[in-house]
Amino acid sequence: MKFLAAKDRGEITIFGVPFDGTTCFRPGARFAPAGIRFFSENLETYSPALNRDLDDIDFCDAGDLEINALPEDMVETVYSFMENVKIPVMLGGEHSVTFPVVKALKERYGELTVIHFDAHTDLRDIYSGTAYSHACVMRRVLELGCKIVHVGVRSGTLEEFTLIRDNPLLHLVDIKKLPEILENEKNIYFSIDIDYFDPAFAPGTGTPEPCGGTPVEFFSIIYNLPSANIVGFDIVEVSPPYDPSGITQMLAAKVVRELILKFWGG
């Protein structure tokens, strides 16, 4: 389908943030926006599962933001860009790119619930010298006062898991509970770290963690969610250098298509 070639209109703005400056293990997520777009060329615009077609959706692809090497600057650039975005569909980059988007949305909507698909808690306070590390992104989001629903989290420190247990804004749930949970949330943002999925399905990521979710289960849950109140989403941590067959990038492209069609295609 190629996102880039899509009709340039509508309230949905796809944009890429090719940043991986705080990645502690294996960098490469900077190449994800280009990679996901490349694979989206070979994805049909039509979704048989949803019986909807991207050709019927108004959205534009704004391309990639110009990002420099410093995390603070990336946060500022993305935050500024959000001024002109109504419904963000962001292609990371590492997970740190989520913070400025959520910050902008929280200020806009007052109340915001973040559905956090990930293998990792991402709740460290400081990591690798910076508060904007991808290992800290949900800690920053928490400080904004967002409610966070962790789905698929299976790695972290004892401190992080203790924080989840103790902080009333943090919830660790089974993906099967999502439909029920979303019923009652007002403004909902999805942040999908590709390592939520088992490494078999998404090997191309910086820090693969065994025992993740399957795409079949993920989409079957997504298809059964209520569509109201979704204010945007991102997909992050896809790393093309570690995706020799492209299956991770193809999965990410399909996640983007299905979520757009599900949430705004009705």
Contacts with its own copies, residue ranges (CB under 8 A)? 20-28, 30, 34, 38, 41-44, 46, 48-49, 51, 53, 68-71, 73, 128-130, 133, 153-158, 161, 198-201, 203-204, 207-211, 215-216, 219, 241-247, 250-251, 254
Min dist CB 111 to its own copies, Å, is 29
Determine the distance from the C-alpha atom of residue 185 to the mean position of all C-alpha atoms in its chain, rounded to a whole number.
18
Min dist CB 34 to its own copies, Å, is 8
**Cα(65)–Cα(83) distance, rounded to whole angstroms?**
14
Specify the residue, 88 or 156, whose C-beta has the smaller distance to its own copies.
156
Min dist CB 88 to its own copies, Å, is 23
| The token pair that represents 98 in the structure block | 């989520």
Annotated binding site: 95, 118, 120, 122, 193, 195
Specify the residue, 90 or 119, whose C-beta has the smaller distance to its own copies.
119
Cα-Cα-Cα-Cα torsion 84, 90, 93, 95, nearest 10 degrees, comes to 100
Cβ neighbours for 75, distance < 8 A, ≥ 6 positions apart = 96, 99, 100, 132
Annotated binding site for Mn(2+): 95, 118, 120, 122, 193, 195
| The token pair that represents 56 in the structure block | 């019927």
Specify the residue, 112 or 255, whose C-beta has the smaller distance to its own copies.
255
From the list 10, 12, 1, 86, the residue with the least C-alpha distance to 36 is 1
Q: Is 200 exposed, middle or buried (0-12, 13-18, 19+ CB in 10 A)?
A: exposed
3-class secondary structure, 200: coil
Min dist CB 218 to its own copies, Å, is 9
Specify the residue, 162 or 227, whose C-beta has the smaller distance to its own copies.
162
